[in-house]
């Protein structure tokens, strides 16, 4: 028997609401944004732009 489990960090597998890997990717994005926020609080007059993938996910 062969079992195939689709996994993607984009969470864009058709027919599913959630895919393996998407939660880990989301948690890493949140951690990195928190680190950038801490860095931004020490800087004045700076703008940080954060772009993530997954425009058609979910």
Question: Which pLDDT score is estimated for 11?
Answer: 81
pLDDT tens profile 8-55: 888 888 888 878 888 888 899 899 999 988 888 887 787 888 888 766
CA dihedral 20, 32, 56, 9 (to 10 degrees): -20
What is the per-residue DSSP string for 1-58? ------B-SS---TT-S--BTHHHHHHHHHHHHHHHHHHHHTSSS-------S-TT--
Does residue 2 carry a pLDDT above 90?
A: yes
Question: Which pLDDT score is estimated for 4?
Answer: 83
Question: Which pLDDT score is estimated for 41?
Answer: 83
16 near 58, Cβ under 8 Å?
no
């Amino acid at each position: 028997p062969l079992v195939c489990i689709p996994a993607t960090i984009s969470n864009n597998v058709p027919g599913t609401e959630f895919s393996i890997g998407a939660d880990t990717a989301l948690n890493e994005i949140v951690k990195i944004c928190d680190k950038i926020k801490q860095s931004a609080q020490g800087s004045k007059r700076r703008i940080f732009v954060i772009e993530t993938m997954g425009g058609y996910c979910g």
